[in-house]
Amino acid sequence: MPAYFSLQGSVRKAPHSPSRDTTRQRIKFSDDRVCKSHLLNCCPHDVLSGTRMDLGECLKVHDLALRADYEIASKEQDFFFELDAMDHLQSFISDCDRRTEVAKKRLAETQEEISAEVAAKAERVHELNEEIGKLLAKVEQLGAEGNVEESQKVMDEVEKARAKKREAEEVYRNSMPASSFQQQKLRVCEVCSAYLGLHDNDRRLADHFGGKLHLGFIEIREKLEELKRVVAEKQEKRNQERLKRREEREREEREKLRRSRSHSKNPKRSRSREHRRHRSRSMSRERKRRTRSKSREKRHRHRSRSSSRSRSRSHQRSRHSSRDRSRERSKRRSSKERFRDQDLASRDRDRSSRDRSPRERDGKAKKRSYESANGRAEDRRSSEEREAGEI
């Protein structure tokens, strides 16, 4: 077998393919496209490669460099990839067990039915065959490693198992007819679902139990049990941490509630707190009042300035109007006094004219009326000229 067949998944075709290098540069080990079972060195596609049940290439990315990156990073952080790998192996083992049950039903239909007692004796022969096969596989492994003493001890155990097998076969032969005993009895391996014969020789048993297929299934099943244990421990640890955080939160809430109750029960603290609150409120109100008073003073100053300006203007206007009115009154008074003087003078003249002749009175009267008319006209002209000059 070529050396590169021992590599992982898609690497088996071409160990130095450019697609592998580009894939490694493009993704990280935490990517969903990377096989988490491969990172944990338990992918069935890798374990069973080159066997009778070779599954071919895995649908996800396999890369030894990504596994090395994961091993380095997992020392500082727990990525919990064991759960994904456990689900993958659990699905694979479930399919294998289902095939085993189907094979058992098929054998039960094709082979001759035997009694429960004879079946138990045959089962004892199968168990001894399995024990012998495992011991022979171990002997071969120890011999390959150069451990001769241990391999010799295991061979002694093999001889003992063979003696037990001969006795069990004798008991099984005596419990049934010779024709039925000569018939080949098959059994399904509980580990790898392969068929085993009741009369298989030691070499055949050693090849099966020491073969890559059977050992691969043992490795997968042991890895599955280990993953279950690790996942259970991590889940228990996480549950404990979650419970601890919850208890801490509840403790903090109880402490806050207790403090709030103690503050409410302690009047001094509550009063001081109320006093601080009242003080802060009063200070804020005082600030607002100051700002309002400042704004009012500004508005009042503005209004007072505007009102003083308007008052000064109205006062000036009133002074001008009062002057005009006084001038008019003085004019009217002067004109009235003149008219009064003229009337008095005209009355004196009339009295004097009564004593004179009617002719003189008539001439003088005409003369006075003419003069008075001229005087009034002159007065009117003078008053109009004065008013025009004042204006």
Cβ atoms of 92 and 220 closer than 8 Å: yes
CB atoms closer than 10 angstroms to residue 11:
20
**Entry pTM:** 0.55
CA distance 361 to 343: 17
Which of 118-127, 314-323, 330-339 tops mean pLDDT?
A: 118-127
Judged against a pLDDT cut of 60, whether residue 6 lies above it is answered with no
Token pair 């592998």 in the structure block, residue: 20
Q: Which residue has the higher pLDDT, 51 or 375?
A: 51
Mean pLDDT across 258-286: 68
pLDDT reported for residue 231: 93
Q: Which residue has the higher pLDDT, 350 or 102?
A: 102
Residue range 69-84, pLDDT digits in tens: 999 999 998 899 999 9
Judged against a pLDDT cut of 50, whether residue 358 lies above it is answered with yes
Ranking 104-108, 153-157, 159-163 by mean pLDDT, the lowest is 104-108
Ranking 157-171, 300-314, 359-373 by mean pLDDT, the lowest is 359-373
pLDDT reported for residue 306: 64
Q: What is the mean pLDDT of the chain?
A: 76
C-alpha 95, offset from chain centre: 39
CA distance 335 to 342: 11
Cβ atoms of 118 and 175 closer than 8 Å: yes
Ranking 6-15, 217-226, 318-327 by mean pLDDT, the lowest is 6-15
Task: Give 283's pLDDT tier (boundaries 50, 70, 90).
Answer: confident
Burial class of residue 234, CB neighbours in 10 A (0-12, 13-18, 19+): middle
pLDDT reported for residue 303: 66
CA distance 177 to 153: 38
pLDDT reported for residue 391: 42
pLDDT reported for residue 384: 54
Judged against a pLDDT cut of 50, whether residue 319 lies above it is answered with yes
Judged against a pLDDT cut of 60, whether residue 98 lies above it is answered with yes
The 3-state secondary structure of the chain, one letter per residue = CCHHHHCCHHHHCCCCCHHHHHHHHHCCCCCCCECHHHHCCCCHHHHCCCCCCCCCCCCCECCHHHHHHHHHHCCCCCCCCHHHHHHHHHHHHHHHHHHHHHHHHHHHHHCCCCCHHHHHHHHHHHHHHHHHHHHHHHHHHHHHHCCHHHHHHHHHHHHHHHHHHHHHHHHHHHCCCHHHHHCCCEEECCCCCCEEECCCCHHHHHHHHCCHHHHHHHHHHHHHHHHHHHHHHHHHHHHHHHHHHHHHHHHHHHHHHHHHHHHHHCHHHHHHHHHHHHHHHHHHHHHHHHHHHHHHHHHHHHHHHHHHHHHHHHHHHHHHHHHHHHHHHHHHHHHHHHHHHHHHHHHHHHHHHHHCCHHHHHHHHHHHHHHHHHHHHHHHHHHHHHHHHHC
Q: Which residue has the higher pLDDT, 182 or 334?
A: 334
Residue range 140-160, pLDDT digits in tens: 888 888 888 898 898 999 899
pLDDT reported for residue 172: 78
Which of 160-174, 287-301, 370-384 tops mean pLDDT?
A: 160-174
Task: Give 380's pLDDT tier (boundaries 50, 70, 90).
Answer: low
pLDDT reported for residue 195: 86
CA distance 251 to 38: 44
Ranking 14-18, 114-118, 157-161 by mean pLDDT, the lowest is 14-18
Judged against a pLDDT cut of 70, whether residue 355 lies above it is answered with no
Token pair 């001769």 in the structure block, residue: 148
Q: Which residue has the higher pLDDT, 39 or 294?
A: 39
CA distance 126 to 186: 9
